Amino acid sequence: MSKPMSDPLGEVRKPFPLNLFGVAFGLSGLAGTWTAAAGTTAAITTAWWLVAAAVWLGSALRYGLAARTARRMLDDHAHPVLGPFAALVPITGMLLGSQLSRFAPQAGRVMVLAMFTAATTIGVRYLTRALTGRYDLDSMHAGHLLPTVAAGLIGGQSLATVGLHDAALAAFAVGMLMWVLLGAAILARLAFRPPLPDALVPTLAIFAAPPAVAGNAWFTLNGGVPDLLEHALLGVFALFFLSQLTLLPRYARLPFTHGFWALTFTIAAGGTYGIHWLTVTHVGGATTWIVLAVSTTLIASIAARSITLAISGAGLKPAVRATSQMWP
């Protein structure tokens, strides 16, 4: 008797779904927030980056062992729900490479370029699938912003950090264009189609990330000057931030899963963006520490609950199954 096709991810790939790369992504974002806060302890900042790098490498190794073959990896990347999270691997790599460039400029530049090339490959593959009708509107969620929008904006920031300003501007432009195009499509799906299943509700936080990510990237690209574009991005960020505050009761009603790591990079990017503005407006001081403390506490609480969940052995497979069964 054949096994029912109830879970399109397959048994081999269940142990490490692609959205778990959000752990390293969120930790890298938090490390970036500590880096942006002038006057913080260098040892603590370095420790956050080392933890993020260790989790990133460990996640990649575990996923590779679970997937085993290139064919299965490609199938995972094409999955309409979890596939877009594959972009988190090179995106996080770009963040780590840009930090490495502070200590080893040549090695950091090579890593950023390698990760940007990988991110571009994933982004092009995603766009090709979209252009050829491979996605259903109901399968879309804010995670679909990752392969092109997040990759472009973070790519722009990372390339600028290693001195490739022209390439950084091009990547930033791609990220902004895809934000407009995909953001409108995702908003239409969220507004006019059936609600997201609980397993994907945390991805709503990703929808609020682009203005903060774009703002952080532009501060790097334009030398930290609060120009017209930066003020425009601040206004959009304020709108999206307030919308996330109204969603807090909904997040609180959800059973905790590892999917809550979708909130962490938005928290970190927002905190970093706030610190940049506090710095350029010469406010800083205690306010910067408050932003840093709030960002760290929120992400640390998600990390603590994730560790508890992992120790208990509950949560991972049920969350993956609930997600995958929505759109076969």
Question: What is the average pLDDT value for the chain, to the nearest integer?
Answer: 90
CA end-to-end span of the chain, whole Å? 21
Does the structure show a pLDDT above 60 at 18? yes
pLDDT at 319: 45
CA distances from 212 to 139, 162, 207 (A): 25, 21, 11
Task: Name the residue with higher pLDDT: 311 or 314.
Answer: 311
pLDDT at 263: 97
In a domain, 12, yes or no: no
pLDDT at 67: 85
Give 210's pLDDT tier (boundaries 50, 70, 90): very high
Q: Are 52 and 92 in contact (CB under 8 A)?
A: yes
In a domain, 247, yes or no: yes
Does the structure show a pLDDT above 50 at 326? no
Task: Please give the share of the chain, as a percent, with pLDDT higher than 90.
Answer: 80
In a domain, 2, yes or no: no
The answer to whether the pTM exceeds 0.85 is: yes
166-171 average pLDDT score: 98
In a domain, 147, yes or no: yes
Does the structure show a pLDDT above 80 at 54? yes
Give 313's pLDDT tier (boundaries 50, 70, 90): low
CA neighbours closer than 13 Å in the CB half-sphere of residue 269: 32
Crossing angle of helices 22-36 and 264-280, rounded to 10°: 10
Does the structure show a pLDDT above 80 at 105? yes
Q: Are 280 and 220 in contact (CB under 8 A)?
A: no
What is the count of structural domains for the chain?
Answer: 1
In a domain, 3, yes or no: no
CA neighbours closer than 13 Å in the CB half-sphere of residue 1: 1
Give 122's pLDDT tier (boundaries 50, 70, 90): very high
How far apart, in whole angstroms, are the C-alpha atoms of residue 206 and residue 265? 8
In a domain, 194, yes or no: yes
pLDDT at 15: 58
In a domain, 156, yes or no: yes
CATH of the domain at 211: 1.50.10.150
pLDDT at 243: 97
109-115 average pLDDT score: 98
Out of 216-220, 289-293, 315-319, which region has the weakest mean confidence (pLDDT)?
315-319
Does the structure show a pLDDT above 70 at 90? yes
Give 198's pLDDT tier (boundaries 50, 70, 90): very high
Does the structure show a pLDDT above 80 at 1? no
In a domain, 238, yes or no: yes
Does the structure show a pLDDT above 50 at 131? yes
Q: Are 30 and 295 in contact (CB under 8 A)?
A: yes
pLDDT at 314: 59
In terms of residue numbers, what domain contains 97?
18-316
Give the angle 245-251-256 at the CA atoms, nearest 5°: 145
